[in-house]
Amino acid sequence: MATAFTGTYGVNYGRIADNIPSPEKVVTLLKAAKIKNVRIFDADHSVLNAFKGTGLELVIGLPNEYVKDMSANADHALTWVKDNVKAFLPETHIVGIAVGNEVLGGSDYDLAVALLGAVKNIYNATKKLGVDHVVQISTAHSQGVFANSYPPSSCIFKEGVDQLMKPLLEFFTQIGSPFCLNAYPFLAFTYNPGKIDINYALFEPTEGIYDEKTDLHYDNLLDAQIDAAYAALEDAGFEKMEVIITETGWASHGDQSEPAATPSNARTYHYNLRKRLAMRKGTPMRPRSMLKAYIFALFNENSKPGAGSEKYYGLFKADGSISYNIGFPGLKSSSAASSRLSVKVL
C-alpha cells in the first residue's frame, strides 16, 4: 500500500500570491531547510516540472471545483491522473493525491455527496495506470466534521456528516489511507479566547486538561484535537485508522479581532511544534502512532481572501526570507539592519 510521508515533518506550499519565488527557487529553499514532504493544492505543471529529480515527495491536490465532474465521469478522472500524475512519474515523486479539501462539513451538500465517487474514480484511475502502489489517495477534513470535541473522548462525527463519512472511511480502510485532519490551535484560541489558555495552544508549560473518561492528561491543544479525531473514528467503528495532520499553523499578523496573530506567538508555536514532531511520539490516546504533520504554510500569500491572518501563515515571507527564526535558513541572507529589526519584532 502506498504511504505518502517520510519522517514526521512536511509543509504546504500554497501559491495564492503574485510575489512568491519561482518553483525552482522553492526547491532550493526546501532542500536547504531539509523539508522533504510537500503538499500543493492543485497539480500545477510548473511545480511538477521543478520538482523533477529533486527527491522531494509531493502530494498534489484535485481542487474542489473538479470533484463533481470526477465523480460523474470516470474517464475524466483517468485523463486527469494520466496528465497530472502518470506523465510525471517517476522523475517527480508524486506520492499522493488529495481529492478535494475540507469538503465534508462544509456548506455545499452536492459537493459532499460527490466526494466518495471522485475518490473512487481517482483511485481506480491510479490502479488502471499501474501507479496505485506509489500514489496514496486521501482527502483532508476540517474540524467542522466533528461534534463535541471537548473533552477529546466525547468527540463524534456531526449528524449529517456521519452518513457520508462512514462509506468514505470504509473505502479508505480498504486502500490503506489515513484520516487527514486540518487542525489549528490558533483558530480554536482566536474563537474561544476566554476558554482556552494560550500556553495550552502554544505547547508552552500549562496545567493542561484532564479527560476523565479515558484518564488521560493533555498538555497541549493539538494533541487533544488529534485525539478527538481518534475518538470520533473509534465511535464510527474505525479505531485502527491513523490520523495525519495535513495542515496546522499559526499566523504572524492578523486583524484586530485576531490579537494572538503575532510573530512571537507564531514563532513559539512553530518552534515547539517542530520539537514535538522531532520526538517521533504519538498522542495520549495513540502513544505508539508517531505523529506526522504538514505545516501551513511555506509562504505568506498576499492574494488570499478572508480574515487578515489568512495572508500571514508563512514560515517564509514572499521574498524567501524567514518570517521568524525557528532554525530554517532563508533563500537569501537579509542585510544586518533588517535582521536586527526582525530580532526586535521577536
Cα radius of gyration rounded to whole Å, the chain = 20
Long-range contacts formed by 78-82: CB under 8 A, 24+ apart? 78/121, 78/125, 78/128, 78/129, 80/43, 80/122, 80/125, 81/122, 81/125, 81/126, 81/129, 81/131, 82/125, 82/129
- Which residue type does 197 have? D
Phi and psi dihedrals of 112, rounded to 5?
A: -60, -40
CA distances from 322 to 133, 242, 312, 315 (A): 37, 32, 12, 6
Residue 241 and residue 169: Cα distance in Å, rounded?
9
Q: Reduced to 3 states, what is the DSSP secondary structure of residue 214? A: coil
Name the active-site residue from 24, 57, 91, 102.
Answer: 102
DSSP structure string for 278-325: HTT---SSSTTS---EEEE-SB--TT--SSGGGG---SB-TTS-BSS-
DSSP letter (8 states) at residue 48? H
Asked if 102 is an active-site residue, the reply is yes
Residue pair 127/79 in contact (Cβ under 8 Å)? The answer is: no
Neighbours of 221 (CB within 10 A): 25
Name the active-site residue from 242, 247, 258, 301.
Answer: 247
Q: What is the set of active-site residues?
A: 102, 247
